[in-house]
Amino acid sequence: MRLNLRLGWTLALFAGLALPAAACGSDDSSGGSGGGGAQDGGAGTGGTSGTGGGNTGGTAGTGATAGTGGAAGGGGSAGTGGASGGGGASGSGGTGGQTLFNCDPPTGSAPALKLVKVDDGFARPLTANSPDGDTARIFVGEQHAGKVNIIKNGSTLPTPFLDISDRVISSGNERGLLDIAFHPNFMQNGRFFVHYTADGTTASSGSTVVSEFTVSPPTSDTVDASTEKVLLTQAQPESNHNGGTLEFGPDGMLYIGLGDGGGANDQHGSIGNGQSTDTLLGKMLRIDVDGAKASGKEYGIPSGNMTGAGVPPELWAYGLRNPWRSTFDACTGDLYIADVGQGQWEEIDVQPKNASSGINYGWRVMEGTHCFNPSNGCDQSGKQLPVAEYQHTGGNCSVTGGYVYRGSAIPGLRGTYIYADYCTGNFWTFAWTGGAVTPKNITSEINPGNALKQIVSFGQDASGELYVVAEGEASPPGAVYRIEAQ
């Protein structure tokens, strides 16, 4: 079944969903601007295989009541007041507007995959995505250049779509232009959102900024940077673990992933920013960019977010270290979060479409499924453990989250999530059906000899086909590759 995703979710919403209107590894003690890539992962030593994580720690909270469309349960841990619902609509559908993804079950077995270069010559590319309904263009964000370029019908246009180099910091491995998200109705309203690190122009130097821009008409290949409207800023205590993910959910809300503030071991306060519910750091945020503005804010606060004394109203989930790419399954609405570990374990978390707010993903108590602080005998109650993890062995250092494939070109891959390691260029896949998984290492087919490294991001076009972004430096240059069947 091929779905018009906006229609699919709209029908689900009217059926009962009440809507309001890179990462650091073990060597990251300072988060400085060293020679690593955007995720700045620490080197590992040993084998390469990924392993399934036990999903046995229990969901955070137990007493939530049904809220805006989500099932009860999975709410905030004691004292955080996580409300239920709001995370996703029932039924099939997705996050797109006019985009048609293929939500049919997979046909046949998954074939061997390969990477086909789309274009290169980019300076530290970090994003590669298309607006819903735009099948001609792929937008590629360059981290330190502070520019977004367009690959149009296979060729990169000479003039950037967006140039905010005059306000984006251009140093630090995990700072710069970090992500771009197009409004689900971009092809009608021209609105898109950018997550970047400020150089002191729009916010204090080093701060996280989430801004809205508008291009008119939406089909234009250039946008006036003066249309910027700053929505949210957050001071960063260190130059790493900025997170950077922006993604619209199936509920129409904008989800923002923020790291724990940087430095090693989340040494911020007595329990760290990841576990503290009085800060935006180490969290998944959820805001409404279409409804009425909340008092003193440039956006609305959706119902169903976490509540409680001292809890910022933007909070959706917590216990994250550095969420390096989170994406929604375009057909189920499930949220996949790749969270970079400290020095031993990388993890993939999955939040079902009907999950409640207040889920605690464990950091800094847990690193993956393992105790971190304390190193033994930690309290796993109220923690949502990852569905998959892999160790810092064989050079693995830092997870790069991908997508669940929902295209038509590779029928056997549909419903499968793909992700990679930044340092080694190892790739894995799994199909999540509700519990722990056993990832399949596909490196030998898609990246023979681990020739391609610095896998910094994945992308998805308007047809559901997937892309790999390799960061690169001066040589080889940064490049965008399409995933195809061999």
**CB contact at 8 A, 407 and 101:** yes
Q: What is the pLDDT of residues 122-146, one digit of tens each?
A: 999 999 999 999 999 999 999 999 9
pLDDT at 366 over 70: yes
More confident position, 391 or 45: 391
At 98 the pLDDT is 56
Confidence of residue 12 (pLDDT cuts 50, 70, 90): very low
pLDDT at 258 over 60: yes
Task: Look up the CATH number of the domain holding residue 257.
Answer: 2.120.10.30
Identify the CA nearest to 324 among candidates 350, 347, 354. Answer: 347
Q: What is the pLDDT of residues 442-484, one digit of tens each?
A: 999 999 999 999 999 999 999 999 999 999 755 568 999 999 9
Q: What distance in Å separates the CA atoms of residue 223 and residue 216, rounded to the nearest whole number?
A: 7
Q: What distance in Å separates the CA atoms of residue 478 and residue 176, rounded to the nearest whole number?
A: 16
Torsion of Cα atoms, 198 then 203 then 205 then 206, to 10°? -60
* Strand partners of residue 182: 192
Residue position matching structure tokens 């207040």: 358
More confident position, 366 or 22: 366
At 332 the pLDDT is 98
pLDDT at 62 over 60: no
Identify the CA nearest to 354 among candidates 81, 74, 64, 78. Answer: 74
Q: What distance in Å separates the CA atoms of residue 398 and residue 364, rounded to the nearest whole number?
A: 17
End-to-end CA distance of the chain, in Å?
A: 25
Q: What is the pLDDT of residues 265-321, one digit of tens each?
A: 999 999 999 999 999 999 999 999 999 999 999 999 999 999 999 999 999 999 999
pLDDT at 85 over 50: no
Confidence of residue 61 (pLDDT cuts 50, 70, 90): very low
**Structural domains of the chain, count:** 1
> What contacts 480, CB < 8 A, 6 or more positions away?
117, 118, 119, 120, 122, 125, 128, 138, 140, 151, 459, 467, 468, 469, 470
Residue position matching structure tokens 């049904």: 66
Confidence of residue 171 (pLDDT cuts 50, 70, 90): confident
More confident position, 362 or 91: 362
Q: What is the pLDDT of residues 178-204, one digit of tens each?
A: 999 999 999 999 999 999 999 999 999
Confidence of residue 435 (pLDDT cuts 50, 70, 90): confident
pLDDT at 22 over 70: no
Q: Give the percent of the chain with pLDDT over 70.
A: 79
Q: Which two tokens stand for residue 296?
A: 């003193």
Parent domain of 148: 2-485
**Range in 242-246, 248-252, 442-446 the model is least confident about:** 242-246
Report how far apart, in Å, the C-alpha atoms of 154 and of each of 168, 171, 484 are: 28, 30, 15
At 473 the pLDDT is 57
Residue position matching structure tokens 């089909």: 219
**Range in 99-108, 151-160, 250-259 the model is least confident about:** 99-108
The vertex-379 CA angle with 374 and 383, nearest 5°, equals 115
Give the mean pLDDT of 358-365.
98
Q: How many CB atoms within 10 Å of residue 204? A: 12
| 3-state secondary structure (DSSP) of residue 6 | helix
Give burial (CB, 10 Å; 0-12/13-18/19+) of 313.
middle
At 178 the pLDDT is 97
Q: What is the pLDDT of residues 95-126, one digit of tens each?
A: 444 558 999 999 999 999 999 999 999 999 99
Q: Which two tokens stand for residue 76?
A: 């905030």
pLDDT at 23 over 50: no
More confident position, 467 or 92: 467
Q: Give the percent of the chain with pLDDT over 90.
A: 76
pLDDT at 47 over 80: no
**CB contact at 8 A, 27 and 45:** no
Q: What is the mean pLDDT of the chain?
A: 85
Confidence of residue 39 (pLDDT cuts 50, 70, 90): low
pLDDT at 351 over 90: yes
**CB contact at 8 A, 64 and 330:** no
At 99 the pLDDT is 59
At 16 the pLDDT is 37
